[in-house]
Structure 1
Amino acid sequence: MPIHDSEGIFKVPQPLFLYWDAVATAREEYRTETALFSGETREYSSDDIAKLIRRWMKQIGLGINRAHVIGSHGHDQKVAAVITPTYFSYNVTKWEETGFHNDEGHPFCIAKEMAVGKFPLFLEGVARVMKTMDKKQAAVLYEHVKQSGLRDNELKMYTLSSTLAGQSYDMGRMMGFSSGWLENQSVWMDQSYKYYLELIKKGMFDQFFEEMRSGMLPFIDGQKYGRSVMECSSFIVSSAFEDPNFFGRGVLARLSGSAAEFLSIWKLMFIGDTLFQLNEGGKLEMQLVPSLPAWLFRENEFAQSRADKKYVIRFKLFTSINVAYFTATPKDLFGVKPLRYTIGLRDGSIMSVDTISSTLAANIRKVVLIDYIHAYF
C-alpha cells in the first residue's frame, strides 16, 4: 500500500510505479501505432475476451481499494475512509533527463518516482461509485455522506465539494470563487440530482423521499430560491457563502442536466423502471410499478361511496393519457403493482383487467385510442 507523510502525500511504492510505467508506455505505443488505422481486423475467442475483462476488472477493483485507503483530507477525516474520493494530484518526485529538448528548450525527462496528493471530497465520486453498489452497500455510503462535509446541514442539501479551504490554486478556477459559489462548495443541481437518482434506483425510498423534500425544486421555498421552482439553475448558493442573504438562492437559470435527472426520477416514481416488456411467450405486456410515498396522495374528491377508493394521485402518461392511482388508505407504494386496472377508451368503452397485455398494451402505446387508466392498489 502507498506510504504517506504527515501532510497526506503518498509515495507510490516501486512495484505500483513500475506497473503504471508499463501501462502508460503500452498506451502511448498503442496510440502511436493506431494514429492511422489500417482497417485490418483480428478475431478473438470469447474465452480470451473474458480473460482480458477479468484482468481489467481486477485492476479496477485494486485501484478502488487503494483510493479508499488514500481517502480524502480537509475537514472529513472521520468519514473519508469509507467515501470514495473523486480526484487526486500526481507529482513526479524523481526523474532522469533524456538529453532531448522540446521546441522551447525544455528538457524531456523520464519519471522514476511519483507521489499522490489528496483533495477534499467531491459528490461526483459518490454518485458514480453508488452505481456499482448493492442496496446494503449504498445505504452505508449514504449515511457516511450525510455526516460528511458534502452535506449542507442548514439547507439540507448536498454540495459539489466539501470545503476547499487551504487548497492550492493549482486545483484550477474553482479556487477563484468564494466558498458556496459555483464550483467552490455550492449546491451543483445537476450533481446533487444525480445523487438523488441513485438513491431511488437502489430502492432506498425512505432516504430518497426524505432528501427530496428538502433538496428538489418542487418542495423548496420559492422565495428563498429567488425564481420559479419550475426553473432549474446551474447552482444554488450554499450556507458556506459569506452572505447569509444568498443562502438557497438559485443562480444562472438554464436547462441543465438536472432536468434530465428529474425526468428519470419522475419516471421511476410514477411509472417504474420498465413500462413495456415481453412476457415468456414473447407477447407484449404493460405494467405500472410506482414508487410513491403516502404523503403525496390526496383525498379523492370524486369518491361517491365508501366502496370508492378514498385517496388518489394523478399524472399524464405520454402527455395525453390521464392516469390515476387509487388506495383505500394513505400508504406507501414502493415498487408495488396494482391489483387491477380500469381503462377507458376514447370510443366510450371501458375495460377492467388484472394485467395489461397484448392488444391493450399495444393500443396504449399508440396513445390516441386511450382516454384514461385507473389503477387500484
Structure 2
Amino acid sequence: MWYEEISGTIESKDFVLWIVISEIKEEFRERTELGFDGAEVQVICTELIESFERFRRKLSEKLEMVIKENGSIPPTYFYYAPVDYEIIGDAPNFGEKYANVKEFQRKELPPFLDVIVKVFKVYEDCEFLRDLYAKVRNSQLYDKKLKMYKVNAPLENASIEIGRAKAFTPGWLENESIRLHMEYEYMLELIKSGLYEEFFSDFKNVFIPFLNPYVYGRSVLENCSFIVSSANPDETLHGNGFVACLTGDTAEFLSIWRIMFVGRQPFKVNDGQIILEFEPILPGWSFDEKGTISFKFLGSYNVVYHNPQKIDTYKTEDSKRVVLHVEGHDVTLEGGVVPEPYSKTVRSGQISMLEIFF
C-alpha cells in the first residue's frame, strides 16, 4: 500500500514508483545475469492476485488518460528525455557519466496502426471503437489517395534513434507503407468488433482481389508484403505491391473469410447439446445474380446460401430454413439452428450438401 501513502501530485508519486520499480528490476537483472539457481518458493495466491490487480488498475488508468489526452487515438510509443538531473560519478565507458535524474519530459512518437489494432483487442465498447475508427480515417494513418491504411503516420520529426523505420523513404517498406499484414489485422478487428458497415465500406479498397491490377503491378490473386503509399515521392509507384519478406496477411485473410461465411463460432453447446448455427456476415452485393453464394465447409461439402432479395445477412436476425442433404434424402429444419443429432451428422461430414435460405 506504500504508493497510496506517498504525498504529492500523481506525477510525483508516479516518478517515485518508477524509481522503486526500476531499482527492483535492475537488482533482479544483476542477480540473474548468469542464470537462476533453481530454488523454489511458495507464495500466497491471494496476495499475488492482489498485486497483479493493482498493477492492472494502474495501467488501465494510465491507458484511459493517454487516450483522452490524444483525442481517442492512443500513442504507440513514449520516450522520456531528462530535463533535470545531477551528475553523481564517472561511468566505466570513456566520457560517460552516471546521473541521478530528477525530472523527465515525456515525448510521443507518431501513431502506428499496430496500437489501434491492440485497442480493438482490449476494448469492447462498440461506440468507442466506432468513434476510434472515424478518427483513424481522419488521421495521417489513412492514405486518402489509395483509401488504405498506412503502417504509421509520418516520421519526419522523429529521431533516427527510433530504429530502421526512420531510415526508409516514406511510403516504402517499414515507413508509411501499406503493410498488408497490419492492414488485414486491422480489418479483422473491425469485423470481430461488429463494425460491419465500417468494415465493408473499406472492403473493396483494401482487399487485393478488388484492386486495379495495372496499379497493383502484379496478379490480384496473390498478396504482397507491402504496397507503396502516396507518401512516397515517386508517384509512379503509388499502389504498387512488392514482396520483400514473408508476411502473415494470408492468415488474417483466412480468419476474416471464416467469420464472413460462418460467423465467430458455428458450433456451440446449448443445454448440454451441440448445435450448429451459421451466422454469415455477407453484404448483399456478394451474392450472384441468382442470389446465391457457396463455400466449402469443413473441407468436405458445399454450403449454399440462398438470398434472392440480396439483403445484408448481418442485418437479419435468423435464416428461415436449413436443408441437409443426407445420404439420399433431405432433412428440412425451420429456423437457423441445427440441433442434435443433425449437428453431429454435419460435423462428421456425413452429408453431401447443406443449404440455408434467407
Does TM-score exceed 0.5, indicating one fold?
yes
User: Compared with structure 1, are the counterparts of its residues 324 and 115 closer, same or farther at alpha carbon in structure 2 (3 Å cutoff)?
Assistant: same
Please name the residue that 1:42 is paired with: 42
Establish whether residue 357 from structure 1 lines up as the match of residue 339 from structure 2: yes
User: Compared with structure 1, are the counterparts of its residues 253 and 371 closer, same or farther at alpha carbon in structure 2 (3 Å cutoff)?
Assistant: farther
User: Compared with structure 1, are the counterparts of its residues 64 and 232 closer, same or farther at alpha carbon in structure 2 (3 Å cutoff)?
Assistant: same
Establish whether residue 371 from structure 1 lines up as the match of residue 352 from structure 2: yes
| SS, match of residue 59 in structure 1 | helix
Please name the residue that 1:92 is paired with: 82
Please name the residue that 2:17 is paired with: 19
Once the two structures are TM-superposed, the CA of residue 88 in structure 1 deviates from its matched residue by: 1.6
Please name the residue that 1:63 is paired with: 62
Establish whether residue 213 from structure 1 lines up as the match of residue 212 from structure 2: no
Please name the residue that 1:330 is paired with: 310
User: Compared with structure 1, are the counterparts of its residues 223 and 56 closer, same or farther at alpha carbon in structure 2 (3 Å cutoff)?
Assistant: same
Distance across 2 between alignment mates of 1:37 and 1:216 = 52
Please name the residue that 1:308 is paired with: none
Distance across 2 between alignment mates of 1:43 and 1:370 = 54
Once the two structures are TM-superposed, the CA of residue 164 in structure 1 deviates from its matched residue by: 1.6
| SS, match of residue 231 in structure 1 | coil
TM-score by length of 1: 0.84
Once the two structures are TM-superposed, the CA of residue 107 in structure 1 deviates from its matched residue by: 4.0
Once the two structures are TM-superposed, the CA of residue 85 in structure 1 deviates from its matched residue by: 0.8
1:296 to 279, 286, 298: 286
Once the two structures are TM-superposed, the CA of residue 125 in structure 1 deviates from its matched residue by: 1.2
- 8 A contact 1:85–1:126 mirrored in 2: no
Figure out how many residues of one structure are paired with residues of the other and give that number: 343
Establish whether residue 118 from structure 1 lines up as the match of residue 99 from structure 2: no
After superposition, residues 185-334 of structure 1 pair within 5 angstroms as 185-252=176-243, 255-280=246-271, 282-300=272-290, 311-334=291-314
- 8 A contact 1:297–1:330 mirrored in 2: yes
- 8 A contact 1:70–1:118 mirrored in 2: no
Distance across 2 between alignment mates of 1:69 and 1:170 = 27
| SS, match of residue 243 in structure 2 | strand
User: Compared with structure 1, are the counterparts of its residues 164 and 45 closer, same or farther at alpha carbon in structure 2 (3 Å cutoff)?
Assistant: closer
1:142 to 129, 133, 136: 133
Please name the residue that 2:4 is paired with: none
After alignment, is 53-62 or 103-112 more displaced? 103-112
Once the two structures are TM-superposed, the CA of residue 189 in structure 1 deviates from its matched residue by: 0.9
Identity across matched positions, percent: 32
Distance across 1 between alignment mates of 2:49 and 2:91 = 43
Distance across 2 between alignment mates of 1:129 and 1:49 = 26
- How big is the alpha-carbon RMSD for the aligned residues of Structure 1 and Structure 2? 2.3
- 8 A contact 1:191–1:258 mirrored in 2: yes
- 8 A contact 1:102–1:108 mirrored in 2: no
Describe the superposition over 1:236-285 as per-residue Cα deviations: whole angstroms up to 9, x where unpaired.
100111111111111116651111111111111101111212111x1222
Describe the superposition over 1:148-170 as per-residue Cα deviations: whole angstroms up to 9, x where unpaired.
11110110001011112232222
User: Compared with structure 1, are the counterparts of its residues 121 and 103 closer, same or farther at alpha carbon in structure 2 (3 Å cutoff)?
Assistant: closer
Runs of 4 or more off by more than 6 Å in structure 1?
Answer: none
Once the two structures are TM-superposed, the CA of residue 98 in structure 1 deviates from its matched residue by: 5.0
TM-score by length of 2: 0.88
After alignment, is 352-361 or 285-294 more displaced? 352-361
Q: Which amino acid aligns with 2:15?
A: F
Once the two structures are TM-superposed, the CA of residue 201 in structure 1 deviates from its matched residue by: 1.0
Please name the residue that 1:304 is paired with: none
Please name the residue that 1:348 is paired with: 328
Distance across 2 between alignment mates of 1:190 and 1:149 = 19
Q: Which amino acid aligns with 1:60?
A: L
Distance across 2 between alignment mates of 1:254 and 1:356 = 44
